Structure 1
């Protein structure tokens, strides 16, 4: 009997229940991948709160040594044929773990596949210290395959990783778990937003247009699921335009709404998960994401899988897998008039909302099921091993 190739997966798993963590869990549980490979796993995240991601403190330093001792042990004892590792887009992330994970894995003879779950490494890299650029560039040259979440993002690691060593892997969705439920009624005018409540996620932009939207559509209510976070720890550029994002304090902008006549049109749900999250997704009328940068928004795909119409920014994979007016209405991140027009168009036409929702469900089932994406991932790994 032929032995299965040994693959070491390195990355985060829930909690927190964000895109990278949930995607890693999907791969680890994939029947297709487990039948083909002998999978070992090394967990990278030690924080259960998204607000503390990327924060340099004593716990991060201690976990640096714990992580690399575990990695060294696995490389020696398991001798993996390949290491799969989602990288970070930040300078501190590369210096703190990414560079050394790549080089140590190569030192022990493993093929290395890195995965960028975002769309802003290239822009961030321009701001790296010159010495750090050299170190990062050196490690990238050792990589056997770079995975991105959209075809037009294949140049994210240029010139260090050539295009023939780049691959595209879209977001995967559990189409059974995220499916329409007719028993939960839709709340007319319920606009759901999920994710970090920061400037880079478009949170402050959405708050600014609430008065205009709700003056014309008093029944509209904006529900925000996530945590408000000061500062930015990874996204500093408008990925669509390339311009630097002008930071705004989300707490200050929120206070403006809370002290206005439209305070009842704003609902802060905090972090939601499980049945609570599913109920809000099912009962929403429109799903909204106003992010300045994404690889492929998991929450957007979840809403579309459930059959929700969407208003979204054409960043990351969105611009090549979703079509304006077919899967929803798109607008350039940061352009408030575009955001307002997209929402107003959607709010005034229930028939169109229903039609787009049905289209979205069909689109996700046909292109982004776990089975489909796992097969694509398996093909990428096998090509690297070959």
Structure 2
């Protein structure tokens, strides 16, 4: 009796996941790009597909950074020659960040890699248009990139003027998952928190003017402000001392890790009266902790904060409007709680890092 022959099965080809090389600042550096990449890693991007991260800059002097970038180029060339890198994901801001990524962009094209250019930096538009050399470089990159990632609808409309519309995609920054630390349930003070670079651009001097003009109101109701971040720390402390605000304003400088988590855990309101932004990570953090937001009608902020729903928005530089928005929330615990719940729900539904990576980022990679 003849042996039974197994029926022929057509071979099924399994599509190999692309190897992604991501480029950005050293993950120990302060700033939004490092924060975004860390959230990608915490959410497991490196476990969902082949992944390499290559830092292009670090903390230190210009000479140290020049040597660091030279090392980055060597690592990039060695990686390209030894591995089949399919996609280079470049996190780009303005000036030095862009110039460094320009070099990586050229190397990637020589090795025929797909390139995704991910734009960060509130001053990128000014950088892009301030001289003919920058205009030429940015337009060349946008036109030759396989995808250009932007953080807001406003930026999408702007970049589409210089690039193939089908190549420009919006991808929100991911929100961190909150970790409540040392919550003080016995406190009587109402805490208002600012996190970010202490600078004119972030509106920190407008906030100080607003506090000074309403000092008696805040003192009477036990309101306390924490203005935390790097930048003009000494200048901000000097204004606090000059205007006699020490009793209601704390300026701890840069905070991170558990210290930052403690401040977020014990905050009641988050304020960021910025003049220029893209999609502030600090607002996403505050929303994840269930805080109502007071901010401005700038760039991607209205896509995070719906005025009257999970916070209040004012025009940049409108100090009276800023004061009125803060007063409304200070005077109504019900509004603070309801807007805070809305903030948390928005983060869970739209900005959750794990969902974003699974639903959007890996899909972008696999479609290239």
Q: 1:329 to 1:315 in 2, by over 3 A?
A: same
Q: CA deviation at 1:137?
A: 2.3
Can you list the C-alpha shifts for 1:132-171, whole angstroms capped at 9, x where unaligned? 4223322332111010111221134344322210111112
SS in 1 for 2:176: coil
Change (3 A) 1:72 1:196: same
* Aligned partner of residue 69 in structure 1, secondary structure: helix
Structure 2 segments unaligned to the other structure (5+ residues): 1-13
Larger Cα-atom Rg: 2
Note the alpha carbon deviations across 1:61-109, whole angstroms, 9 max, x for none.
222322211211112111211100111123x4333x1221112111100
Q: Higher relative contact order by CA 8 Å / sep ≥ 6: 1 or 2?
A: 1
User: Counterpart in 2 of 1:26?
Assistant: 39
Equivalent position of 2:51 in the other structure: 39
The corresponding residue for 2:17 is 4
Mapping of residues 89-104 of structure 1, within 5 Å = 89-90=94-95, 92-95=96-99, 97-104=100-107
The residue aligned with 1:355 is 338
Distance 1:215 1:183 in 2: 25
Tell me: CA distance 1:253–1:181, structure 2 relative to 1, closer, same or farther (3 Å). closer
RMSD: 2.3
Give the 3-state SS of the residue equivalent to 1:267 in structure 2.
strand
Aligned to 1:320: 303
Is the contact between residue 183 and residue 266 of structure 2 (CA under 8 Å) also seen in structure 1? no
What's the CA shift for 1:29? 4.3
SS in 1 for 2:54: strand
Pair 1:305-2:288 in alignment: yes
TM-score, L = length of structure 1 = 0.84
1:258 CA drift (Å):
0.7
Aligned to 1:243: none
TM-score normalised according to structure 2 size: 0.88
* Partners of 2:188 and 2:196 in 1: CA distance: 21
CA distance in 2, matches of 1:73, 1:32: 23
Please tell me whether the aligned partners of residues 85 and 112 of structure 1 are also in contact (alpha carbons under 8 angstroms). Answer: yes
Tell me if the contact between 1:7 and 1:80 (Cα under 8 Å) persists in the aligned partners.
yes
Matches of 2:132 and 2:98 in 1, distance apart? 14
Closer, same or farther: CA 253–371 of 1 in aligned 2, 3 Å? closer
Give the total of aligned pairs. Answer: 352
The answer for the alignment partner of 2:324 in structure 1 is 341
Which 10-residue stretch deviates more, 7-16 or 195-204?
7-16
